[in-house]
Structure 1
Amino acid sequence: MSVAEALPETMLIGDLHFEVRESPRRTTVGITVDRDGSLQLHAPAGCPPDALAAWAYSKRIWVYRKLAEKDLLLSAQPAKEFVTGEGFTYLGRGHRLLVTDADAVRMERGRLVMPRSEVDAGTADAALIRWYRARGGHWLPSRLKRWADRMALAPTGLDVRDLGYRWGSLSGNGRLNIHWATLQLPPSLIDYVLVHELAHIQSPQHTSAFWATVERAMPDYERRKSDLLTAGAGLWLG
């Protein structure tokens, strides 16, 4: 009896560099293109390396197209200055910054108030990120519960934090992680992120069953998914 050849940790397919992730739970191969442009090649246990490489090579045009989309988004990330009048977004609505002698970041009469002390210390970006995280901690739970009840799926908790170039993720213990930057999105697109991550409780991979779960909860998910791709170009990521 021959022993199956082990998959390498990485693969270079043409000029594309993949991180290889093998899982006994998978039955098919797949590719993930993260928002930072990194590539993951997913494979079921025992998949022959040559077959995996051949499949990835056949998908290279699709990967190039996705990378082009990512490059467009990443190149469009706006630069922000912490001066009075600069614009920041919260729940899809633009708000002008007001630098004052306040003691904390807050929303006041439609203006986003920033303490002058944070600007002078060079910590305004960190202060604003903390504010987004705190707002997410208050705003997201009831929104999440609404969708979780509708989908009959129960996460073990919710964290709002920096996820790099991912909108959300699901921890192995069933806890949802949402990027603080999503608080800049309109509520309808935040809802898509929540539904997407909730669906992973039932289907860890992006299988047809996964997308069927998303569609049952959100029949117009494809439009929201497309809108999210466009909206990502305008978000401030710190």
Structure 2
Amino acid sequence: MSVSEALPDTLLIGDLHFAVRESPRRSTVGITVDRDGSLQLHAPAGCPPDALAAWAHSKRIWVYRKLAEKDVLLSAWPVKEFVSGEGFAYLGRSHRLLITDTDQVRMERGRLLLSRAIAAGPDPGAALVRWYRGRGQRWLPGRIRPWADRMGLIPARVDVRDLGYRWGSLSANRRLNIHWATLQLPPSLIDYVLVHELTHLAHSQHTSAFWATVERAMPDYERRKADLLRAGARLWMG
């Protein structure tokens, strides 16, 4: 590809603004509509800019439909108050917050305990995020192991992180990253996230082979995927 044919970093199609991501591992063009409504065009190396723009233009109706869905869902994201009685979900169940004299965040008899000092501080949400991450780091490896064994796809390790608007990601070193907010979901929906990300160990792109691999491991994945879209809009995102 000559310098004049290099792909731009961004692409404007009508009123749709795309970030362009070029990857030598891709063989086809794709679009990602992130949970915050941001748009990404994924292109294989050497893709002509005009061809990429034409393809994106042909997908405008699909993109508008996805953005409309996400606009409705994003409006439902809750805002939490760090006071006794506020509810925070863990593994699909709501637990009431109790502001107390504890020196840490912990679960006790179904209540989520938070210290008065943290609750009155500048960023009490950060302490709860750390609690979710710690819980996830202990719980997720055991949860993923049966799926990994069944699929024959073993990650190098599992990390719990803030991934912005992605439920999961796969690093180049086969490390599987899971968003801390997934720990609020019911286990059956967390399983879908795990199976989805494990499948990326075999298929980097969302091809028909990718979805066939997901379906073999989880025949009802389409229902779980739809349930995740609805449930995800009701999670606290920190």
Instruction: Report the TM-score, using the length of structure 1 for normalisation.
Output: 0.96
Deviations 1:43-71 (A, max 9, x none): 22222211111111110010011111222
Unaligned runs of 5+ in 1: none
SS, match of residue 134 in structure 2? helix
**1:80 maps to which residue?**
80
Amino acid at match of 2:45: A
Amino acid at match of 1:22: E
Identity of aligned residues (%): 78
Amino acid at match of 2:56: A
2:27 aligned with 1:20, yes or no? no
**1:112 maps to which residue?**
112
**Once the 2 structures are TM-superposed, how far is the Cα of residue 3 of structure 1 from its aligned partner?**
8.7
SS, match of residue 36 in structure 1? coil
**Once the 2 structures are TM-superposed, how far is the Cα of residue 103 of structure 1 from its aligned partner?**
1.3
Amino acid at match of 1:28: T
SS, match of residue 121 in structure 1? coil
2:154 aligned with 1:154, yes or no? yes
Moved more, 86-95 or 62-71: 62-71
Deviations 1:8-42 (A, max 9, x none): 22111111111112222222111111111111111
**Once the 2 structures are TM-superposed, how far is the Cα of residue 130 of structure 1 from its aligned partner?**
0.8
Question: What CA RMSD, in Å, does the superposition of the two structures yield over aligned residues?
Answer: 1.5
**2:127 maps to which residue?**
127
Determine if contact 1:192/1:225 at 8 Å carries over to the other structure.
yes
Alpha-carbon distance in 2 for matches of 1:146, 1:130: 26
Amino acid at match of 2:205: Q
Determine if contact 1:33/1:67 at 8 Å carries over to the other structure.
yes
Alpha-carbon distance in 2 for matches of 1:50, 1:97: 54
Deviations 1:176-198 (A, max 9, x none): 11010000000000000000000
Determine if contact 1:170/1:176 at 8 Å carries over to the other structure.
yes
Instruction: Report the TM-score, using the length of structure 2 for normalisation.
Output: 0.96
The number of residue pairs the alignment matches comes to 238
Moved more, 159-168 or 66-75: 66-75
**Once the 2 structures are TM-superposed, how far is the Cα of residue 4 of structure 1 from its aligned partner?**
8.2
Amino acid at match of 1:37: G
Alpha-carbon distance in 2 for matches of 1:219, 1:151: 13
Deviations 1:107-144 (A, max 9, x none): 11111111111112233211111110111011100011
SS, match of residue 139 in structure 1? helix
2:217 aligned with 1:217, yes or no? yes
SS, match of residue 234 in structure 1? coil
1:91-110 correspondence to structure 2 within 5 Å: 91-110=91-110
Alpha-carbon distance in 1 for matches of 2:42, 2:126: 35
Deviations 1:169-226 (A, max 9, x none): 0011110110100000000000000000000011111111111111111000000000
Amino acid at match of 1:95: H
Amino acid at match of 2:207: T
Unaligned runs of 5+ in 2: none
Amino acid at match of 1:165: Y
**2:195 maps to which residue?**
195
**Once the 2 structures are TM-superposed, how far is the Cα of residue 85 of structure 1 from its aligned partner?**
0.6
Amino acid at match of 2:27: T
Alpha-carbon distance in 1 for matches of 2:24, 2:105: 47
